Amino acid sequence: MTKILTRSHTIDNKVPNPRETGAFTVFYDGACPLCRREIAYYKQQTAIGRIDWMDANNNPAQLKIAGITKAEALARLHVITTEGDILSGTRAFQKIWETLPKFRILAICLNYSPLHLLVSKLYEQFLKYRPFLQKLCMPIHKNLDHL
């Protein structure tokens, strides 16, 4: 489901509005070691355009402006486009991948409906097992943080 961001300002000017900056915003679960590792990898890539990366745990004001609850933001990846649309799940990944040259072919492939449906179903399955996978990755992630 796509929602529209209707406010044109931010609370406390903490984060610029996507319409004003030309950047789109990504909300992710920074407490999740899997998510944190993936986002760190994306941040290392050279993006075409600007992306504002936001840990949903630390940005309640921006979540409120977007009309996304903290629970929704922690449950799955969300993107707010420069047009104010809210994308989640596979569509959010597709938006990110469109701006990262190494991933652009994946974004293009997701325009093919059967493939998009398959990837969406796989993502939904992943979300069911994410808590278990987080527990498995926690010791590994802690060791890697010290490097």
Domain residue spans in the chain? 3-145
Interstrand relation of 24-28 and 78-80 (parallel, antiparallel or unpaired): antiparallel
Q: What is the pLDDT along the chain (147 residues), one digit of tens a residue?
A: 433 333 333 333 344 565 566 789 999 999 888 888 899 999 999 888 889 999 999 999 999 999 999 999 999 999 999 998 999 999 999 999 999 999 999 999 999 999 999 999 999 998 888 778 777 766 554 555 544
pLDDT at 103: 94
What is the SS3 assignment for 142? Answer: helix
Nearest to 39 by CA among 20, 13, 57: 57
pTM: 0.77
Residues 98, 26: Cα–Cα separation, whole Å: 13
Question: In a 10 Å sphere around its CB, with 0-12 CB exposed, 13-18 middle and 19+ buried, how is residue 140 labelled?
Answer: exposed
Interstrand relation of 24-28 and 51-55 (parallel, antiparallel or unpaired): parallel
- Which residues, other chains included, contact 146 with Cβ-Cβ below 8 Å and sequence gap of 6+? none
